[in-house]
Amino acid sequence: MKLTILPLLFLTLLVSSCNQGKVKELETKLSSSEQQREMLSSQLESVQRTNGDLLARMEDLSVISKEGATSIRESLQSISGQTSYITELNRSIQRKDSLNLALVMNLKRSLDDIADEDVQVEVRGGKVHVSISDKLLFASGSARINEDAIRVLDKVSVVLNDHRDLNVIVEGHTDNVPVNVRGVRDNWELSTMRATAVVRELVDQFYVDPARLSAAGRSEYDPRGDNNTPEGRAMNRRTEIVITPNLEEFFDLAKNSTAG
């Protein structure tokens, strides 16, 4: 009976001793793992703080390379220069538009007693166009100015002489019907002859500076109406006095912008 109890007691003590050893080993590993976890958590918090600091400093551009700073500075200077150029260009355009508006109003006031179907004043392409029908200016197929047209050119010349810094192009236009007049080769020649006749009248009779004037024949190739209808062809037979703005300030702006 005693011999049986002793081995059991010894076995129990042995198992208990083994279990305690494993428990201690596990406790040691657990403690080590807990220390590693705390260390990793601390490192993670440090990395997060560093990243947050970098992001904050990047937001106020305090962390950039020397090359990056130079590039940003040059870009800001370029943007500032372009803004100034655009602002000045807008001012020039506004001045030109204001001048065109004043010209249109002055011309319409001067030509108020002339029928609208004979003389039209409008702004196209940034230029003031005074379109005079050929039935008012010339006889059919002729480049000799009618007496009735003198009054119209007189009124236009007053406005032209009030704005001596503006250049003027006189354009002759025809319909697409071939000209059949002795001594006139074609519509090109007729439109050029008519434009030249108006220029001469403005210079000789109304003292417009000839250096400001140009004559151009456009023939049938810039129609305002349908050449397939009588009404359209009548619209196309016209002489246009085109008042062009002074473009020197725009060229100067472009030159300065390119140089900058």
Nearest to 257 by CA among 94, 92, 93, 83: 83
DSSP per-residue codes, 7-39: HHHHHHHHHHHHHHHHHHHHHHHHHHHHHHHHH
- Calpha distance 188→180 (Å, rounded): 13
- Altogether, the residues listed in the chain come to a count of 260
Assigned token pair, 132:
């005079």
State mean pLDDT over 226-241. 95
Helix-, strand-, coil-residue percentages of the chain, each rounded to 5: 65, 15, 25
Mean pLDDT, residues 38-64: 61
Task: Grade residue 121 by pLDDT with cuts at 50, 70 and 90.
Answer: very high
Q: What phi, psi does 123 have (nearest 5°)?
A: -105, 125
With a cut of 80, say whether residue 228 has pLDDT above it. yes
In this structure, the dihedral spanned by the alpha carbons of residues 200, 141, 133 and 157, taken in order and rounded to 10 degrees, is 10
Q: Which of 158, 114, 160 has the alpha carbon at shortest distance from 137?
A: 114
Cα–Cα distance, 26 to 204 (Å, whole number) = 118
Q: What is the pLDDT of residue 98?
A: 73
Look at 248 and 9; give whichever has higher pLDDT.
248
The pLDDT assigned to 1 comes to 44
Given this model, what pLDDT does residue 183 score? 87
Residues 168-199 pLDDT 10s: 999 999 999 999 888 899 999 999 999 999 99
pLDDT confidence of residue 141: 87
pLDDT computed for residue 147 by the predictor: 86
Nearest CA-CA partner of 194 in 144, 154, 235:
144
Instruction: Give Cβ neighbours of residue 243 (< 8 Å, ≥ 6 apart).
Output: 103, 127, 128, 129, 130, 160, 163, 166, 167, 168
Calpha distance 171→182 (Å, rounded): 22
**CB 121, CB 128: distance < 8 Å:** yes
- Quote the pLDDT of residue 253: 46
Residue located via tokens 């008519």: 194
> What pLDDT was estimated at residue 200?
96
**197-209 pLDDT per residue, tens:** 999 999 999 999 9
Per-residue pLDDT at 2: 44
Mean pLDDT over the full length of the chain: 77
pTM reported for the whole predicted model? 0.63
pLDDT score for 6: 47
pLDDT in the model for residue 3: 44
What would the pLDDT profile of 147-160 be if each residue is shown by its tens digit? Answer: 888 999 999 999 99
Predicted confidence band of residue 38 (pLDDT cuts 50, 70, 90)? low
Q: Which two tokens stand for residue 227?
A: 């050449």
Quick check: 243 pLDDT over 70?
yes
Q: What percent of the chain clears pLDDT 90, i.e. is strictly above it?
A: 39
CB-CB contact of 237 with 174 (8 Å): yes
- Check whether 41 has a pLDDT greater than 50: yes
Model confidence at 123: pLDDT above 80: yes
Q: What is the dihedral of CA 27, 32, 38, 39, to 10 degrees?
A: 180
Structure tokens at 58: 């990047």
CB atoms near residue 110 (< 10 Å): 18
As a whole number of angstroms, the longest Cα–Cα distance in the chain is 158
Q: How far apart are CA 101 and CA 109, in angstroms?
A: 12
Mean pLDDT lowest for which of 60-64, 74-78, 242-246?
A: 60-64
pLDDT at 233: 94
- For 165, half-sphere exposure in the C-beta direction (CA atoms, 13 angstrom radius) is 8
